[in-house]
Amino acid sequence: MSQPNVPFPQSPVVPNMVDGSHVIQFSCHKGIGCWNACCSNIDISLTPYDILRLKKRLELSSAEFLTKYTFPYEFEKDDIAGVKFRPVQGGSACQFMTPEGCSVYEDRPTACRYYPVALVSMRKEGEAFDTASYALVKEDHCKGHEVQRSLTIDEYRTEQGVVEYDELARGWRQLILKKKSSGPSIGKPSLKSRQLFFMACYDQDQFRAFVASDAFGDLFALSREERTKLVGDDVALMEFGFRFLRQVMFGEESIPLNEEAAKARAEKVREKRMQIEREAAAKLARDESGDDYYRDED
């Protein structure tokens, strides 16, 4: 199962973009000639909510789940990371594939629910929100396209339980789209920002411990009750993580800082601005002396 993904182009399949009213002809059922073919050769990116569901089902900590079932990859060089399923050792099949089908079916990830449809989130220049389009993936091995059953993509998404998954991954997708569309004005995220992104999005138990820690309490003006509520609710914690990252990565301050921390942050911003100005002045001086040098040579 490969994906022209969502929102990262990886597949050889060229997508035709359609909307949710587009009618597809497809059915997948046990006994079909290609049973499990799609799960035998995987390239599946996971959303934070996918991880949350799977680690809960498997009764693993996020660190255990990530180590055993995934590997990280960078969206771009030195950029924030995504997480993909790690196939079986020495092969390309999903670790959850069994002869009977998917062993985590009720908690299977978004990409598996969507297949053979792929979600492509995009944000047009100047628009505040992303829009969803879809692409149909037709791979030779998949016989599901030959079965006479027609339904719209919206109906298929509802049938596959993907609506909830999309809703709960929206904050994560928006972070990635904003990062991609912000270009050089935001620049490459620092190592610290990348580590925080990974922790808040994927290593959810570590993020929980971070939010519960005294260090977090010293930095952010959240009451003990608010923090207790957050650490006790997986979904609320995940969505808080997206908010936290918007603050860390894009300076969108929605979580109030404690007074001392706010002062320290203002000082840091001031120092950084001065450093940029000093560097710009030094560059200008270098450029001007270079011009003189060339003029002298003439």
Contact residues toward ligand SF4 (CB under 6 A) are 1, 28, 32, 34-39, 42, 44, 94, 96-97, 102, 104, 108-109, 112, 115, 141-144
Q: What is the closest distance, in whole angstroms, from the C-beta atom of residue 75 to ligand SF4 in the complex?
A: 21
Q: Which is nearer to ligand SF4, 169 or 245 (CB)?
A: 169
Q: What is the closest distance, in whole angstroms, from the C-beta atom of residue 21 to ligand SF4 in the complex?
A: 22
SS3 annotation, 160-171: CCHHHHHHHHHH
Sequence-distant (6+) residues with CB within 8 A of 88 are 94, 95
Query: CA dist 258 to 19, 64, 220, 287, Å?
Result: 45, 34, 5, 43
CA gap 25, 100 in Å, rounded: 24
Q: Which is nearer to ligand SF4, 156 or 240 (CB)?
A: 156
Q: Which is nearer to ligand SF4, 28 or 175 (CB)?
A: 28
Q: What is the closest distance, in whole angstroms, from the C-beta atom of residue 204 to ligand SF4 in the complex?
A: 19
Q: What is the closest distance, in whole angstroms, from the C-beta atom of residue 94 to ligand SF4 in the complex?
A: 3
Q: What is the closest distance, in whole angstroms, from the C-beta atom of residue 167 to ligand SF4 in the complex?
A: 20
Which tokens sit at 139? 């791979």
In angstroms, the first-to-last Cα distance of the chain is 64
CA gap 45, 86 in Å, rounded: 10
Q: Which is nearer to ligand SF4, 38 or 245 (CB)?
A: 38
Q: Which is nearer to ligand SF4, 137 or 211 (CB)?
A: 137
Q: Which is nearer to ligand SF4, 141 or 268 (CB)?
A: 141
Q: What is the closest distance, in whole angstroms, from the C-beta atom of residue 60 to ligand SF4 in the complex?
A: 15
- Report the interhelical angle of 204-212 vs 234-250 (nearest 10°): 80
Encode burial over 194-210: b for 16+ CB neighbours within 10 A, e otherwise.
bebbbbbbbbbbbbbeb
Q: What is the closest distance, in whole angstroms, from the C-beta atom of residue 96 to ligand SF4 in the complex?
A: 4
CA gap 52, 65 in Å, rounded: 10
Q: Which is nearer to ligand SF4, 38 or 231 (CB)?
A: 38
Q: Which is nearer to ligand SF4, 39 or 80 (CB)?
A: 39
Q: What is the closest distance, in whole angstroms, from the C-beta atom of residue 156 to ligand SF4 in the complex?
A: 12
